[in-house]
Every structure is written in C-alpha cells, then in structure tokens.
Structure 1
Amino acid sequence: MKLILVSFLICLASCKSLTKNKNSVVDNMAVANIVSFDLEREINNCEAQLNKSVPKLTDLTKHPRLIETNATEWKEIPNGRLVWTSGFYPGILWYMYDLTKDDKWKKEAIKRTEVFESFKTINEHHDIGFMMFPAYGNGYLFGDKMEYKDVLLTSAKSLASRYNPKVGTIRSWSNKMHPRWQQHITIIDNMLNLELLFWASKNGGDQKYYDIAVKHAETTMANHFRPDYTSWHVIEYDSISGDVLNRHTKQGYADDSRWSRGQAWGIYGYTMVYRETGDKKFLDFAVKLTDKYLELLPEDYIPHWDFDVPNKEKEERDASAAAVVASGLLELSTLVEDRNKQQQYYDAAMRMLESLSSDEYSGVGKADSFLLHSTGAKSLGHEIDVALIYADYYYIEALARLKRMGQSN
C-alpha cells in the first residue's frame, strides 16, 4: 500500500505533535479518494526537477521567478529590495534538505540564502517576511543555522516599523509604488508576513511583535472580508482615523470580485495565526474562509485565477493558490477539533495535491518547475498561465508537512 495511505492512517489516528485533538479517528469516506497519491514519488520528482534546474541557476545575484508559457527553463530576475519573491527559491532548497537530509541541498540552500542578508533592513514594504522567513527561517529550523537568528530578529524589527497603531495594521505597499491609493494600504497577502513577527517574539524579540501581529490579524478580520467570508485584495485606510476609505483589487478581476489567491492567503494566514496564538476566534475564522473556498472550487480543486471572472471555463487556473491552500489545509486538519472537519480538510488537501501532481499540472517532463499553470497577475497583463516559484515553494512545503504528519506517532 502506498506511503500516503499509511501516513493518512497514522496521522488521523494519533497526530501527537501537530494536533491539539489527540482523539482523531479514521473515517472511511475519504480513503478511496487519496490512495493514488504517492508521497515518496512526488518528493523524488521534486528532487529530480531540482537536479535538472539548479546547475543552470548559477548567478547568485538573481533568483528564478517564473517559467513562461511553453518555455522550459526558469526566467531569473535580480534579488532586489523591492522583489518579494527572492526568498522562495532558497526556501525550496531548505525543504529539499529537510526531506532528504542530503548535504548537497543544504550547501546550495546556504549559498542561495546568504546572498541577501542585507535585506534584513528593508522597511520600504511589508514583503520582508516573504523574503526572509522561507530562506533564513527555514535555514534556522531545518539547517541548524543558529547564526540566522539575528538576521531574522532584525528583519522582524524592520517589518514592525511599518505598523500604524492608529490603523491597527502593517502598511503594505508604498503610495509611490501604487499611486492609486494615497493613504495607508494593507493587502491580504500581508497575513503571511506575520509569521516572522510571531517567531521573533518567541525567540528573543520584543513582545510588541506578537501584539502587532495579533492586532493586524484582528483588524484584517474585521475589515478585509465580505459577509460571505471572501476577501478583498486591497484595503485603503485613513492613516489618522483608521477608517476604511476604499476596498479594491490589484491582481483580481475587479474590485468586488473574489480573487482566488487572496482567499488562499487568508486561509493559510489565519490557520497560522491560530497555531501561534491558540485563540479560537482565529480558528473559527479560518474554518469559515476555508468552507467558502471549498464551496467555490471546480471539480479538480484547482481554482481559476478569480472566482468571478466571466466565461470562467475559458479562463486560466492558478496552481499557486491551490498549493498555498493545500499546505494550509494540511495544518488546519490537525488543529480543528471536529472529526468530520479533520477528515474534510485532509481529504480536500489530498485532492488538491493529487491534481497538482497530475499530468495536467505537473512540470515533470515538460519544464524545470514542480508545477505549471499558475496565474500571477492577469489583470495587470503578466504572469499568465506560467510556472511560479512560490507555487513550487508551497507545494514542497505541503509535501514536507504531509511527511511530518505521517511520522508523528
């Protein structure tokens, strides 16, 4: 029997280190849906893809960002202070080291991580969490690189400097970068940067980092979501009064449409916030966001780039959103107490991973990426139906989480 079925049985029977509810039991309804996913095969496929791509990626001043439609090799872009995706490639290498314990991946990860140590002082935008935690955070956690602690603490200080207590959120973009908005901008993506602050508060950083992260999550929960628990992308606040001025989008189809990756950031983000705080209001909210997202999915569980785009059947999918949610749902399945929800979310995550690993979405044999068919910003006219480095990052994170779940007994 394939490894993933064994992992499923072990996890739902006794996930001791990852779940708050140690009375999980196996329900038969989902077993038939997951036996076709072979975890070890997919880990091996990812390693084979890296063996193919890493020798081509030799310029340490750049990182792989995307593979264009019908191309096979990564397009590299400079590791600039304004480029939010630079941390995902070293993060992938750290996950491969964690999965294989092969020192060659550790050496490659170190090489690709340490080239942007100076980014720890970034305060021009909120994305320092995306940039530093997958790289330096994973190196600290998986590579025993204790010297990365100071880099992460400095990065957290830089991120916290963008917090506006009058609004109750960390300011995302600068108005110079995005002149459509004149005051305090917060985007839903910013939820994932909070993990850096939570980590710092537990590892020698100021308690205020925890308080900022919690307040940001609370304010976002109050203002960033519609009554049906779907997310807006961009909220513009009055920087003095904290009042909401506008609810818009940058990467979705329209201001009032439901951008699928925005919903994915919310699901992942509030699951993480509950893990870090233990506050049930965040768990309940993550459940509401998840249930709505699952309700909107097509049959193969890979969303279109926006849930409300016209002529949806002709529109591109977003594998990156699916990868983010698959990873988040694996964790959420260990945090909810209701056994039916445990089962539902685990099964949904496995359906997503099955589709992502299928010939339809896998890059194996076609390109150097793990995944194909992501959409970064169709509304802006770029990154349409491409491979994206962050899709690969959250996919390998999901595989790593799945493996740890099978080992926790």
Structure 2
Amino acid sequence: MNKKKTHISLLFLIALITAGQVKAQSLKSVINKAFENAEQQSLLMAKKYENQQGRFPRSFEGGKDTSSDSRWWCSGFFPGSLWYLYENNKNEEVLKYAKLYTDRVEREKYTTDNHDVGFMLYCSFGNGLRITGEERYKEVLLTGAKSLATRYDANVGLIRSWDHNTAVWQYPVIIDNLMNLELMLWAANYSKDESFKKIAISHADKSLVHHFRPDYSSYHVVSYDKKTGVPHKKQTHQGAADDSAWSRGQSWGLYGYTYLYRETKDKRYLEQAKHIANFLINHPQMPKDFIPYWDYNAPQIPNTTRDASAATVMASALIELSDFVDAKLKKKYMQVVDKQIRTLASDEYTAKLGENGDFILKHSTGAFPFKSEIDAPLTYADYYYLEALTRLKKRL
C-alpha cells in the first residue's frame, strides 16, 4: 500500500512539474513570437526614417505618422528598442540601425534645459554600451550626466524637471524624473565621482517623502519653494485630477525605486517599490489583464482608454523587483507579468506587420487631459515592452 501511494504521489509530482514546464515553454513561445514580430515591425520603422535626417518615430494618430527630432524627450527610445532586438537575435541589420539612430541622439549630451537627458541617452547609448562595450559611448553618457547635474539645486535637493509655467510652479519636479537617476548612478560608478550619486540619492529621498500619498500612490508634479526647499504645490498634471493616480506615473515610481534598490541596496527603496506594487496590483480599478486605464481614478472607467505604456513599464519593473523579494511575492509579481505579457502579445495589442504606423503595440495613452496621443502607439511603450521581454526571457 505504501509503495502504491508513493508511486501515485510520484506520478502526481511529475505531472505538476511537467505542467509547469509546459506553461514555461508556452510563455517562451509567446516571447519568441513577440520578438519575431517586433523585429520585423521595427525594421520597417527604421527604414522609413533612415533617410529623414535626425528624425525619430513618436506616434501614429489619425492614420498619420508623427515624428520628432532628438530634442523630444522620447528620442532615445527607438534606438533603445533596436538594441534590445539586437541583443535578442544578433541580426546585423538591426545592429546597423541601432548604431544609426543612437548617433542621432548624441547632441543631447549637452542638453541642460530639461531633465530628460537620462531617457534620451541611457536608453540609447546606455544599452549600446551594455551590449557592445563601445568605448565612445562612455564619453557621451558621462557628458550627459554632467549636463543633467546642472539642473540640481542643493538648496532644494532635487533635479528640476521643467522650466516652463513659472507663474504656477517655482521648482517643478515630476515623478518621471526618477527614471533619469540611473544615468547619474552609472556616472558615479564609472567616473568615481561621488557627487553624481549624492545628487541621485538626494533626489530619490526627497521624492520618497513628498511625492507619495499615504496609500503609496503618487502625484505627478510637486513644485518646491526655491528659498525653503519645501513643497508649495502638488498636482497631477496629466491625470484625471490632482488627487488621482495617473497610471504611467505610478509605473515610473515602481520602476524608479526598484532600480534604486538594485544600485544602492538601500532597503527603504525596496520597501517603497513593494508598497507601490501592492497599490497597483490590488487596485480595485485595475483590469483583470493588468493593462491599466490611463488613470486609476478616471471617472469614465470602464468606458475610457487603457495605457499599454503604463503596463509595459510596470511589467519590466515587476520582473526585476521579483529578484529582490521572497518566494510568495515573487510568484505574485510574476503571475501579474504573465498576464500582462500574454495580453500585450495578443492580437488585441500587437499590431500586424505594416500596420499601426510600424509601431509594435497599440492602445497607449500619452496625455489624456490634453487630447494628445489617445489610444495610440507610443515609442516608449514599445521600448519597455522589449525590455520586459528581454528580462523575462533571461529568467525562464
């Protein structure tokens, strides 16, 4: 009898393991197909803008392409997408275009009039350096970090995000700005100049205190008094209301404190990331497929647009965050990621070859209150999708 029970238990265990392997293989299949589609689509995009000097894809609205030059904050995302595609498949044609579009961003290493230098340079040159070790890219990144550092005011303790709307904001800092601190931390490690790290940590710490509400949702913009260094106005500029949770902003916060923990091992950042993840995953307005509406408090829910870009940033962050938590949380995070990736890779969100202005994903929302890029493809949605696919593939 005992032998029989043991035999049955062993068969049951083998069945469970096999089921897990089939599921893992199935997700691998989803990822491989997603990469295949993305490479084909992105090569069409690369060729479309190849001879348009200095131009980058931005979106596709009303059946028309919209593009930008390197000054637009999104200029680093398309070359970054090409780097992830090259990393996956080592296609020499993709490498050619990754280098071409990365070089188009180089002039932004001298940019001092906005905070987006990290997005511009670290997504393009940063990935290029990581994948190829190209020495020339180091100078570009270090120069860019020095430019970004000029926007730091020691009295306020933060990097200033914007210079406009001075009638309302004295020293505006947006939640997105957390994403640019990774460039500063890289510069500190590379140059051994600790001033870069001090700036990044000061910004991260002060944002942790002032940007988040008790439920761990975040404001979009916090403006600081330049004399006292304390907040005088808190708003959600691109959200439904000042007290609402703009979905992409929540994902920026999750991603930011996750990599800040990776780079510093400061447990405060890990706890913050876990709290934000809990807020998002358990939010009553989060859809079952975990592709958020453009704002978690949008009054039109469920009759309003989703934001695939918020989902891709969230997925990429959760994959990394799962490396730093216990087995129970890891499983929870990865179950969410599984649903997100499968949904994004489906026909509902993945464009057919040659459609959607040659962008990979559909159904993102840029700035709903300003009627800009609503239910449209966005270059950063594609970028963080490919980053999430890359991270996930390495972990399976």
- Taking structure 1 as the reference length, the TM-score comes to 0.87
Query: Which 10-residue stretch deviates more, 185-194 or 98-107?
Result: 98-107
**Post-superposition offset of 1:344:** 0.8
Residue 403 (structure 1) aligned to one of 390, 393, 396: 393
Decide whether the 8 Å contact of 2:240 with 2:298 is kept in 1: yes
**Partner of residue 5, structure 2:** none
The amino acid across from 1:347 in the alignment is Q
2:44 is the counterpart of 1:56: no
**Partner of residue 188, structure 2:** 201
Cα distance in 2, alignment partners of residues 160 and 134 from structure 1: 18
**Partner of residue 364, structure 1:** 352
The amino acid across from 1:79 in the alignment is S
1:330-353 deviation digits (Å, cap 9, x = unpaired): 1011111x1101111111111111
Decide whether the 8 Å contact of 2:105 with 2:120 is kept in 1: no
Decide whether the 8 Å contact of 2:70 with 2:108 is kept in 1: no
Decide whether the 8 Å contact of 2:219 with 2:242 is kept in 1: yes
1:269-317 deviation digits (Å, cap 9, x = unpaired): 0001000000111001100000101112111110000011112111100
Residue 33 (structure 2) aligned to one of 12, 37, 41: 41
Decide whether the 8 Å contact of 2:108 with 2:117 is kept in 1: yes
Q: Which has the higher helix share?
A: 2
**Partner of residue 298, structure 1:** 287
**Partner of residue 316, structure 1:** 305
Q: Which aligned pairs between 1:161-172 and structure 2 lie closer than 5 A?
A: 161-172=150-161
Q: Which aligned pairs between 1:18-97 and structure 2 lie closer than 5 A?
A: 35=26, 38-58=30-50, 59-69=52-62, 71=63, 74-80=65-71, 83-97=72-86
Cα distance in 2, alignment partners of residues 30 and 124 from structure 1: 51
1:141-183 deviation digits (Å, cap 9, x = unpaired): 1122111101100111111111112222111000xx2345331
Cα distance in 2, alignment partners of residues 349 and 156 from structure 1: 32
Cα distance in 1, alignment partners of residues 31 and 372 from structure 2: 32
**Partner of residue 341, structure 1:** 329
Q: Which aligned pairs between 1:88-127 and structure 2 lie closer than 5 A?
A: 88-127=77-116
The amino acid across from 2:69 in the alignment is P
Residue 378 (structure 2) aligned to one of 375, 385, 388: 388
1:176-214 deviation digits (Å, cap 9, x = unpaired): x23453311100000000000011111115211111111
Aligned-partner SS, 1:256: coil
2:234 is the counterpart of 1:244: no
Cα distance in 2, alignment partners of residues 164 and 51 from structure 1: 42
Aligned-partner SS, 1:376: strand
2:322 is the counterpart of 1:329: no
Decide whether the 8 Å contact of 1:30 with 1:347 is kept in 2: no
Aligned-partner SS, 2:173: strand
**Partner of residue 253, structure 2:** 266
Which protein has greater RCO, CA pairs closer than 8 Å, 6+ apart? Answer: 1
Q: Which runs of 5+ in 1 are unaligned?
A: 1-25
Q: 1:284 to 1:108 in 2, by over 3 A?
A: same
Q: 1:310 to 1:30 in 2, by over 3 A?
A: farther
The amino acid across from 1:263 in the alignment is Q
**Post-superposition offset of 1:35:** 3.9
Aligned-partner SS, 1:359: coil
**Partner of residue 12, structure 2:** none
2:204 is the counterpart of 1:214: no
**Post-superposition offset of 1:404:** 2.1
Cα distance in 2, alignment partners of residues 237 and 51 from structure 1: 44
Aligned length: 373
Cα distance in 2, alignment partners of residues 226 and 331 from structure 1: 24
- Taking structure 2 as the reference length, the TM-score comes to 0.90
Decide whether the 8 Å contact of 2:248 with 2:294 is kept in 1: yes
Decide whether the 8 Å contact of 2:223 with 2:231 is kept in 1: yes
Q: 1:322 to 1:180 in 2, by over 3 A?
A: farther
Aligned-partner SS, 1:308: coil
Q: 1:301 to 1:293 in 2, by over 3 A?
A: same
Percent of aligned pairs sharing the same letter? 42
Aligned-partner SS, 2:274: helix
Query: Which 10-residue stretch deviates more, 47-56 or 137-146?
Result: 47-56
Residue 365 (structure 2) aligned to one of 370, 375, 399: 375
**Post-superposition offset of 1:30:** 12
Q: Which runs of 5+ in 2 are unaligned?
A: 1-16
**Partner of residue 339, structure 2:** 351
Query: Which 10-residue stretch deviates more, 184-193 or 109-118?
Result: 109-118
